[in-house]
């Protein structure tokens, strides 16, 4: 059990220097808090969190290239601290956080509200109330917020050993689900794996560019080489890199409507 007199070790990640400075100034007024690092972007946040091992990470939900959600997803499970998102989202998004039991701070951050977050985190740590499904709740809440944005993804951050690769969505050939993992195949014949739900990722892709072939497969329409009818009214799809996928019965009807009619 964590000692009640130990200082709470905190890191900040925000791409706006004034926002970081404002948060840091508030935290430094708390005698029971130690600010152990600041990151100007999501990639540096991942490195900082994994190297410093903070108790709490205050993450800006909207950062370029790698946002707060991406940081959480890329952190190794045994290196994930408690998370509080700092966000400028509206009331709808705030309700999503509340429903998923994830802490959030609205910009501009109110010092009294930040104090509440610190106290809540300390209490949880002292009681050892950090559960293994914490990351999933964070992901669920943040996805609900992102879905309001309606902007298709341009790049997908992927962890490969000790580095982060930004995979352009335009280079995706296929996305195949296998258990909790998605395998992303690119035009460079590279395969990357991420832990993410296919339905959530598919919802953030440009709908005119990608099509679902079944429960576990999404492909880039421009990468389809041939569509072959098979008995029973379904299809096989052959991609330009020679990957071949069987299309489900339901998706075959949608594929016929979308691609096989003038």
For the chain, give every domain's residue range. Answer: 8-147, 155-259
What is the pLDDT at residue 248? 94
**pLDDT beyond 70 at 131:** no
Residue 110 — very low, low, confident or very high, per pLDDT cuts 50/70/90? very high
Q: What is the mean pLDDT of the segment spanning 46-64?
A: 92
pLDDT digits (tens, 9 = 90+) for 140-190: 666 666 665 567 888 888 988 778 899 999 999 999 999 889 999 999 999
CATH of domain 155-259: 2.40.50.1020
Determine the topology of domain 8-147 in CATH: Rossmann fold (3.40.50)
Output the DSSP codes for the chain.
---TTSPEEEEEE-S-HHHHHHHHHHHTT-TTEEEEEEESSHHHHHHHHHHH--SEEEEES--SSS-HHHHHHHS-GGG--EEEEEE---HHHHHHHHHTT-EEEESSPPHHHHHHHHHHHHHHHHTT---TTHHHHHHHHHHHHHHTT-PPPSEEEEEETTEEEEEEGGGEEEEEEETTEEEEEETTS-EEEEE--HHHHHHTS-TTTEEEEETTEEEEGGGEEEEEEETTTEEEEEETTS-EEEPPHHHHHHHHHHHS--
């Amino acid at each position: 059990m964590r000692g009640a007199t130990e200082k709470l070790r905190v890191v900040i990640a925000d791409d706006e220097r004034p926002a970081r400075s404002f948060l840091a100034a508030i935290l430094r007024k708390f005698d029971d808090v130690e600010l152990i690092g600041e990151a100007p972007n999501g990639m540096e946040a991942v490195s900082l969190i994994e190297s410093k091992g903070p108790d709490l990470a205050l993450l800006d939900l909207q950062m370029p290239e790698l946002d707060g959600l991406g940081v959480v997803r890329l952190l190794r499970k045994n290196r994930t601290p408690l998370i509080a998102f700092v966000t400028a989202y509206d009331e709808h998004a705030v309700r999503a956080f509340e429903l998923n039991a994830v802490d959030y701070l609205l910009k501009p951050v109110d010092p009294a509200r930040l104090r509440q977050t610190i106290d809540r985190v300390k209490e949880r740590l002292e009681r050892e109330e950090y559960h293994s499904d914490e990351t999933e709740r964070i992901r669920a809440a943040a996805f609900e917020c992102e879905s309001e944005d309606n902007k298709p993804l341009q790049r997908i951050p992927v962890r490969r050993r000790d580095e982060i690769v930004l995979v352009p969505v335009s280079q995706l050939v296929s996305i195949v689900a296998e258990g909790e993992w998605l395998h992303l195949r690119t035009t460079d014949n590279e395969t990357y794996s991420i832990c993410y739900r296919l339905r959530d990722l598919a919802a953030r892709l440009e709908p005119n560019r990608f099509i679902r072939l079944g429960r576990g497969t999404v492909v880039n329409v421009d990468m389809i080489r041939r569509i072959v009818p098979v008995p029973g009214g379904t299809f096989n799809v052959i991609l330009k890199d020679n990957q071949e996928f069987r299309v489900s019965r339901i998706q075959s009807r949608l594929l016929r409507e979308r691609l096989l009619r003038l």
